[in-house]
């Protein structure tokens, strides 16, 4: 799904994704996109749309579906990127962009959402040393494999795709700290200007959902100078 009000940019994006083998549906506003009778695997959304903003549309889309979201926008300040990634989006691409980079980011988001068109690798045999995909963190029951989460005292709460991915990263080596740089790389971002801020804001948002007392976390802890770790 391509939601872009500029005709030339919308046509460029259609040509780009169709050349990569994807089928595209388009809309020139958030309101028009909400009327499309389709659940896309991924949405490329312009931030500065007329009427409802791209960020507001992405938030609605996140609540209604499991569509992956990439904000494609000229708004490239650190705060724009942080808010976009933490609140609604799986990735953020600033115009002008390199076509190869955008295609790589689309593939990365699809892989994280387990929607890659390529044949998945065979499942590894379960062993006692392999971390379980099912977590119980305080009031939350979380299945990382199914990307489902349930909060006992507030069923309306959910986790974003980035938050699930962060938990997956931390759960691979529970009780062991993982550096910010590694977390950011695994999340699919590699711009050193935003490294600390992006990861720290995502950790903060996740703590506010998971922890009963976010200022004294029991499950998502910081090891100064070493990174973050998950305590089960």
**204 — phi, psi (to 5°)?**
-60, -45
pTM of the full structure: 0.50
pLDDT band at 2 (very low <50, low <70, confident <90, very high): very high
Lowest mean pLDDT among 71-80, 86-95, 216-225: 71-80
Q: pLDDT tens across 84-141, in order? A: 555 567 888 888 888 888 888 898 888 877 655 443 333 333 333 445 678 899 889 9
Rounded Cα distance, 96 and 85, in Å: 19
For the record, the structure tokens of 174 come out as 């529970």
Q: What is the pLDDT of residue 80?
A: 53
Lowest mean pLDDT among 42-56, 68-82, 130-144: 68-82
pLDDT over 70 at 44, yes or no: yes
pLDDT over 90 at 21, yes or no: no
**Average per-residue pLDDT for the chain:** 80
Q: What is the pLDDT of residue 128?
A: 39
Q: What are the chain's domains?
A: 2-112 (3.40.50.2300), 134-230 (1.10.10.10)
Chain-centre distance of CA 217, in angstroms? 23
Q: pLDDT tens across 149-172, in order? A: 888 888 878 888 778 888 988 998
pLDDT band at 178 (very low <50, low <70, confident <90, very high): very high
| DSSP helix/strand/coil, 91 | strand
pLDDT band at 221 (very low <50, low <70, confident <90, very high): very high
Taking residues 27-49, report their average pLDDT. Answer: 90
**Residues 6 or more apart whose Cβ sits within 8 Å of residue 203:** 166, 220, 222, 228
Q: Quick one: DSSP state of residue 98?
A: -
Q: What is the pLDDT of residue 29?
A: 94
Taking residues 196-211, report their average pLDDT. Answer: 81
pLDDT band at 81 (very low <50, low <70, confident <90, very high): low
């Amino acid at each position: 799904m391509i939601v872009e009000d500029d005709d030339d940019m919308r046509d460029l994006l259609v040509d780009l994704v169709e050349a990569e083998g994807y089928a595209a549906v388009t809309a020139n506003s958030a309101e028009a996109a909400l009327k499309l009778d389709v659940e896309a695997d991924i949405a490329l959304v312009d931030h500065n749309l007329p009427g409802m903003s791209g960020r507001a549309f992405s938030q609605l889309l996140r609540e209604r579906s499991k569509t992956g979201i990439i904000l494609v926008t000229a708004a490239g300040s650190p705060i724009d990127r942080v808010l976009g990634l933490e609140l609604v989006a799986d990735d953020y691409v600033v115009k002008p962009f390199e076509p190869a980079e955008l295609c790589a980011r689309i593939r990365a988001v699809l892989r994280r959402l387990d929607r890659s068109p390529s044949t998945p690798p065979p499942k590894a045999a379960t062993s006692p040393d392999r971390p379980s995909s099912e977590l119980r963190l305080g009031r939350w029951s979380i299945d990382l494999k199914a990307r489902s989460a349930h909060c006992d005292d507030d069923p309306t709460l959910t986790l974003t795709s980035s938050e699930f991915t962060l938990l997956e990263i931390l759960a691979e080596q529970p009780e062991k700290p993982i550096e910010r740089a590694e977390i950011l790389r695994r999340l699919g971002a590699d711009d050193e200007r935003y490294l600390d801020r992006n990861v720290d804001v995502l950790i903060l948002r996740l703590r506010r959902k998971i922890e009963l007392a976010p200022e004294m976390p029991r499950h998502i802890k910081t090891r100064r100078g070493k990174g973050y770790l998950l305590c089960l």
